[in-house]
Amino acid sequence: MEIRPTALPDVKMLVPRRFGDARGYFSETWNAARMRDAGLEFDFVQDNESLSAEVGTLRGLHCQKPPFAQAKLVRVVQGAILDVAVDMRHGSPDFGRWIAEEISAGTGAQILVPRGFLHGFVTLAPDTLVQYKVDNVYDASSDSGVRWDDPQIAVDWQLAGRDPVLSDKDSALPRLADWPSPFHYGEPS
């Protein structure tokens, strides 16, 4: 597996090798021992899946507050997304900065988003199926996030003037100015 850095050093792109033949391909998408050898140690405890029917479906920006914070390993099984991670760790040299990476079923690339980051994505293809591993269980009382269009963060979702398809929950998320980040750089969450 190739591990590539992003503009935010703690967010990584993981690109599994694909072994193809006339039938298609085989790919190992996660191997805990190999990742541990590469310095990436996660105890994933839950797998999640979302299907977004329409292009322009936006999910985010989400996180879970400590002690239920989650690292995520995100991959696309069908379709394509623009995946966004925002560093929300007070004291981080990258606090408030975001990155956006396109990941798709076609490339097999995955994005590893550590704890302390807001996460979201917008679909680039119809019927996009996203799967992600998390290293902590879901806890409804810890569910949190910031509006996708917050002007302080100013993510370029590459919507080309289109309105995204949003859930009621995502439409009601607070602005960053009204959201005290519970994360601190260098501290476990």
Pairing of strands 12-15, 110-113: antiparallel
CA separation for the pair 113, 83 (Å, rounded)? 10
Q: How many CB atoms lie within 10 A of CB 90?
A: 15
3-state SS of the chain: helix, strand, coil percent to 5? 10, 40, 50
Q: Is-catalytic flag, 185?
A: no
Encode 47-85: b = buried (16+ Cβ within 10 Å), e = exposed. Answer: eeeeebeebbbbbbbbbbbbebbbbbbbbbeebbbbbbb
Backbone angles phi, psi at 169, to 5 degrees: -60, -50
Establish whether 132 is a catalytic residue: yes
Catalytic residue among 62, 119, 138, 184: 62
Collapsed DSSP state (helix, strand, coil) of residue 30: coil
Q: Which of 25, 90, 119, 132 is catalytic?
A: 132
| Catalytic machinery residues | 62, 132
